[in-house]
Structure 1
Amino acid sequence: MLTTRRRAAAALLVLALGATACGGDGDDDPADPSGGTFSITITTPENPLIPTNTTESEGNLVLSGLFTGLIEYDPETSEAVYSGVAESIESDDSTLWTVRLKDGWTFHDGTPVDAASFVDAWNYGALSTNAQGASYFFSNIVGYADVQAAEGGTPAATAMSGLKVVDPRTFTVQLSSPFAQFPLTVGYNAFFPLPKAFFDDPVAFGKQPIGNGPFRADEPFVPDVGFTMSRYDDYAGEPAKADGVQVKVIADINTQYLEIQAGNLDVLDQIPPDAITSAPDEFGDRYLTRPSSSTTYLNFPTYDPRFADKRVRQAFSMAIDRQAIVDAVFDGTREPAYSAISPVVDGSRGDACDYCQYKPDEAKALLDQTDFDTSTPVDLWFNAAAGHDEWVQAVGNNLRDALGITYRLQAALQP
């Protein structure tokens, strides 16, 4: 619904590679801006720190420092760059892809990153009995259907037939249909490699991952507390400049902001909406912004019969004044989303969603054509203590004013 146009800091990987730490011991040479440690904050990740079971921002932020995929994404342009493990990803028909790996990449336990590290990881993520949240990322690979089964059932296979190890540095991927953009997708954390140690003890691994990224986990991650990561000196990519990162779990975005104001936190990648106008002056050149490809949205519970009719969903969408919310709540630091693809991503179109335009009269007329029960309140769920309250309430007010519905704000505590 809303596209984040500017963010208040860079991602962990950007900091790892290009930023001087703020929490050093004071002995660093000013002419050599490296060393020291810095602190960041997240809320507790939803699941253990396993790449194929991480589908939310908090776990992904941690994994981005612990792992490196086949490709990476330029932090300024979001374009795919071959600075990761892949030497090349090529296909003559956009269906059968050959992936060749660079030499010299190792996991934090010293074992090599090879073709099996990717193939085994992807097969684990796809297999339905492993119940991995990112399983769907592999759905276009031949054999995916064979590793799926209904709950309690047994899949016909335990590995996708479309993945083949050719040699230690080469594997092939057979897709179910041509997909020219396939190389651009494999930088997502679902496609990260896994060492043999993962398969020996996935539970322990989820607490203290063994990755191949610029930082290594010094200790198990403690929910509601955090952990520390240190620079991996044998990293095959561009080495981190900071010696380490302290990851602090702080559940409330307002508390996070107070901590950075007090100097107890070095980096905060989002700020509360009510601080947007004052933060640039308060932090001066410590306040950094950059375009972001993230999108904020509300999902419809289509399992609820009230929302089964697409005209209901279309009416709700046209009843929301995205631009007014951007201006009033976010002080113009977001952009209305008229496409599922962020404007910073090549190929994004601003006219892709006809029903994302604010048309309250048409919305009411369309809803009146349905059997939607306006006497029952609509529950608007959002993560508590994450700065969502004001914009979700604005959405509710739009729906009330345009469609005549009532609503209830439902704040869910994050895990």
Structure 2
Amino acid sequence: EFSVYICEPEALTPTRTNEVCGAEVLNALFSGLVEYDAETSEPLLGGDSDRAVAESIESDDQQAWTITLKEGFTFHDGTAVTAQSFADSWNYGASGPNAQDNSYFFANIEGYEDVQCGTSDEGEADCEASPPAAEEMSGLEVVDDQTLEVTLAEPFSQFPLTVGYTAFYPMAEAFFDDPEAANEAPIGNGPFQMDGEWEHNQAINVVAYDDHPAPPNVDAIEFGIYADINTAYNDLLAGNLDVMDNLPPEQIESAQAEFGDRFIDAQSSAHTFVGLPTYDERFESVELRQAISKAIDRQAITDTVKPDETPAFSVVGPVVQGARENPCGDNCEYDPEAARDLLEEAGGWEGPLTLWFNAGGGHDVWMEAVAN
């Protein structure tokens, strides 16, 4: 048994969870169609992974896919994981009225647009006045318990790579009876099952699920929930916490000396960024967005407050296969004079520009550097 640092999740429902802390818990509670190789990130299935639910994912044209499931996977309530489980979960996640955060992951499945709500005059989804044309996506067909056929809106060769993500996890039939209750105590199909309900802002406890085809090597995990990463690090130093996969930036150098060979320095494709709300008319100007980008000295920030990271010139990190070196080009180069010219061309900016971030998650230092 050991304890792991996380922050308070936004949700514990696969089709809603779209952030790191909730995903860490769901990755223990659920098994997806594929598992990802720790070194290459290649999708593993069939005999290459005991955790992957899929035996095979095949297509002749990269548009019509046949997913064959392994037998023997069950949910933690004892019910079987079937092709219908995946179809029901994906339809639920895609459905406009359900307003799931991960809905867009299903957008390339044929019939996705038919399960979306219409929009109001203000451009917002209005499910009451304009309900979806269909309840289910036409691109999903359950052939039998072990076979699901998926038709995409257009060919997409990387489809097998995507279906191991949180959004595509299967949910038990009991979920649909009471989604809110299931969010507090998820019924997964993974190597761990819930031990009690989610203790908000305190902990989430899971124990080994012995009926999983690949049972874990530990009996239990406590996901300790912290509002501040520095508090978690102090608990790590005191021996009250066993694992942290993220450290306060200012503590990384000292942590290497403190923990010795227990400190693992690994490359990650994690990408932190300042996102601009383009739906806000104040940010419609391309020149304004370029001005903000060129006013940020990425290299100076990484050199001074994030020495373990590299400047981002793409939304795809350099460790990802196929990543381009600098697709952003001049728009990501620090140039205060050009930034001022672009800001003037955009018509300027009135009042303060407020930056929002999740305080206590280790982002305070670099966000302050961006603001300054």
TM-score, length-normalised on structure 2? Answer: 0.93
Correspondences of 1:41-120 after superposition (within 5 Å): 41-47=5-11, 49-82=12-45, 83=49, 84-120=52-88
Q: How far apart are 1:311 and its partner, in Å?
A: 1.2
Partner-residue secondary structure (3-state), 1:382: coil
Alignment pair present for 1:254 and 2:230: yes
Match of 1:361 in 2: 337
What amino acid is aligned across from residue 214 of structure 1 in structure 2?
P
Q: Would you say the 8 A contact 1:215–1:229 is kept in 2?
A: yes
Name which of 277, 281, 287 aligns with 1:311. 287
What amino acid is aligned across from residue 234 of structure 2 in structure 1?
L
Q: Would you say the 8 A contact 2:7–2:361 is kept in 1?
A: no
Alignment pair present for 1:380 and 2:355: yes
Q: Distance in 1 between matches of 2:295 and 2:35?
A: 38
Match of 1:181 in 2: 158
Q: How far apart are 1:147 and its partner, in Å?
A: 0.7
Q: Would you say the 8 A contact 1:106–1:236 is kept in 2?
A: no
Name which of 198, 201, 212 aligns with 2:189. 212
What amino acid is aligned across from residue 340 of structure 1 in structure 2?
V
Q: How far apart are 1:257 and its partner, in Å?
A: 0.5
Q: How far apart are 1:357 and its partner, in Å?
A: 2.4
Partner-residue secondary structure (3-state), 1:100: strand
Instruction: Out of 254-263 and 220-229, give the one that drifted further.
Output: 220-229
Match of 1:407 in 2: none
Please list the CA deviations of residues 157-195 of structure 1 after superposition, one character each: whole Å capped at 9, or x if unmatched.
111010000111111111111111111111110000111
Q: How far apart are 1:358 and its partner, in Å?
A: 2.3
Instruction: Out of 70-79 and 55-64, give the one that drifted further.
Output: 70-79
Alignment pair present for 1:146 and 2:121: no
Q: How far apart are 1:103 and its partner, in Å?
A: 1.5
Name which of 342, 367, 377 aligns with 2:317. 342
Name which of 283, 299, 314 aligns with 2:259. 283
Match of 1:394 in 2: 369
Q: Distance in 2 between matches of 1:148 and 1:132?
A: 11
Q: Distance in 2 between matches of 1:369 and 1:203?
A: 49
Partner-residue secondary structure (3-state), 2:5: strand
Q: Would you say the 8 A contact 2:73–2:189 is kept in 1?
A: yes
Alignment pair present for 1:268 and 2:244: yes
Partner-residue secondary structure (3-state), 1:315: helix
Please list the CA deviations of residues 278-333 of structure 1 after superposition, one character each: whole Å capped at 9, or x if unmatched.
110011111112111110011112233331101111121122111111110022x1
Alignment pair present for 1:137 and 2:101: no
Q: Distance in 2 between matches of 1:245 and 1:264?
A: 14
What amino acid is aligned across from residue 218 of structure 1 in structure 2?
D
What amino acid is aligned across from residue 383 of structure 1 in structure 2?
N
Q: Distance in 1 between matches of 2:93 and 2:348?
A: 39
What amino acid is aligned across from residue 281 of structure 1 in structure 2?
A
Q: How far apart are 1:364 and its partner, in Å?
A: 2.4
Q: How far apart are 1:336 and its partner, in Å?
A: 1.1
Q: Would you say the 8 A contact 1:53–1:190 is kept in 2?
A: yes
Q: Name the Cα RMSD after superposition.
A: 1.3
Q: Distance in 1 between matches of 2:35 and 2:179?
A: 25
Q: Would you say the 8 A contact 2:3–2:241 is kept in 1?
A: yes
Q: How far apart are 1:221 and its partner, in Å?
A: 0.6
Q: Distance in 1 between matches of 2:303 and 2:136?
A: 50
Q: Which runs of 4+ in 1 moved over 3 A?
A: none
Q: Distance in 2 between matches of 1:371 and 1:394?
A: 25
Q: Would you say the 8 A contact 1:78–1:344 is kept in 2?
A: no
Q: Distance in 1 between matches of 2:88 and 2:279?
A: 34
Q: How many residues in Structure 1 have an aligned counterpart in Structure 2?
A: 357
What amino acid is aligned across from residue 119 of structure 1 in structure 2?
A
Name which of 134, 138, 146 aligns with 1:169. 146
Please list the CA deviations of residues 81-138 of structure 1 after superposition, one character each: whole Å capped at 9, or x if unmatched.
2221111111111111111111211111221111011011000001111111101111
Q: How far apart are 1:258 and its partner, in Å?
A: 0.6
Instruction: Out of 85-94 and 150-159, give the one that drifted further.
Output: 150-159
Q: Distance in 2 between matches of 1:78 and 1:105?
A: 23
Match of 1:39 in 2: 3
Q: Would you say the 8 A contact 1:76–1:291 is kept in 2?
A: no
Question: Larger relative contact order (C-alpha < 8 A, sep ≥ 6)?
Answer: 1
Q: Distance in 2 between matches of 1:303 and 1:50?
A: 27
Q: How far apart are 1:52 and its partner, in Å?
A: 0.2
Structure 1, unmatched stretches of 5+, are 1-36, 398-415
Q: How far apart are 1:362 and its partner, in Å?
A: 2.5
Alignment pair present for 1:302 and 2:292: no
Partner-residue secondary structure (3-state), 2:76: coil
Structure 2, unmatched stretches of 5+, are 118-124
Partner-residue secondary structure (3-state), 1:358: coil
